[in-house]
Amino acid sequence: MFPELFRLGSLSISVYGVMLGAAFALCTLGFVHAGGKSGLAQEKLWDLALLATVVAVAAARLFYVLAALPVYRHNLLSWFDLRHGGFSFFGALAAGTAAVLLYAGCHGLQPGKILDLAAPFLALGYALVRVGCFFNGCCFGLPAELPWALPAAAADNLPRHPTQLYASVAGFMLFLFLLVRRKQSGFPGRLFLEFIFLYCSCRFVIEFFRETDDFWRIFTIAQTAALAGAAVAFAAILVRSRIIMRRRR
């Protein structure tokens, strides 16, 4: 793996940090541009993107620390040391969505439309960050005897499932799918719900190949969250679709 891109004196610039920054920058630009083409005020979209980014990053770190609390509880300052540990995408997604809903409600924006605009770029951002995970050597998979198995810098020299790349490929495919679906998704908010359902479905499967000891009964904590997210998204799509069909009769 290649966790460090270069050094500036004592400061280490990691590939993961660069990919995380690139993900936020590219996805924000894409989101604002798409919103502008849809007739929305780009000034509000920039403000919304900044708010959602700050909230998402803070929540992603908090959720990660809470999930690994035994490691962090003896040193509260380590919660803020971003050089050690990582982030929770589920935490970022939940808190970022809440920030979008709050901002949209306060500024007269249609929440479903805003979330639909963001959906493809959430998938793209996820794909880019997982590339950073691959080079960082974290989020690695179980040992495997496969032609594409690779060692992980944060583990050992055993060949392992490159689950970071599995997740990245899934993210890029989801990004392309959502771009195609943008004008065919139906009611406002459906594209975002489709993103939640498909992301959670992919995450649930990939977790079977990932090395972790964070289990809740028979599934990992991430799989439990993925199941809940997929179920809620599927139910919301089904209920909303039926309501629309009844109104058309």
> Could you tell me how far CA 190 lies from the centroid of its own chain?
18
Report the b/e string of 90-120 with b at 16+ CB within 10 A. Answer: bbbbbbbbebbeebbeeeebebbbbbbbbbb
Mean pLDDT of the chain: 87
From the number of C-beta atoms within 10 Å of its C-beta (0-12, 13-18, 19+), residue 4 rates as middle
Does the pLDDT value for residue 6 go beyond 70? Answer: no
pLDDT band at 183 (very low <50, low <70, confident <90, very high): confident
> What pLDDT shows up at residue 198?
97
Q: Is the pTM of this model over 0.85?
A: yes
> What pLDDT shows up at residue 165?
95
Mean pLDDT of 79-90: 70
* Residue-range domain boundaries for the chain: 4-248
Instruction: Find the length of the chain.
Output: 249
Task: Provide the 10 A C-beta neighbour count for residue 36.
Answer: 12
* Integer Cα distance of 199 and 175 in angstroms: 10
Q: Which of 10-14, 20-24, 166-170, 207-211 has the highest mean pLDDT?
A: 166-170
Mean pLDDT of 132-158: 87
pLDDT band at 61 (very low <50, low <70, confident <90, very high): confident
Condensed to tens digits (0 to 9), the pLDDT of residues 213-245 reads 777 778 988 999 999 999 999 999 999 988 888
Portion of the chain with pLDDT greater than 90, in percent: 59
> What pLDDT shows up at residue 82?
59
pLDDT band at 135 (very low <50, low <70, confident <90, very high): confident
Does the pLDDT value for residue 7 go beyond 70? Answer: no
pLDDT band at 127 (very low <50, low <70, confident <90, very high): very high
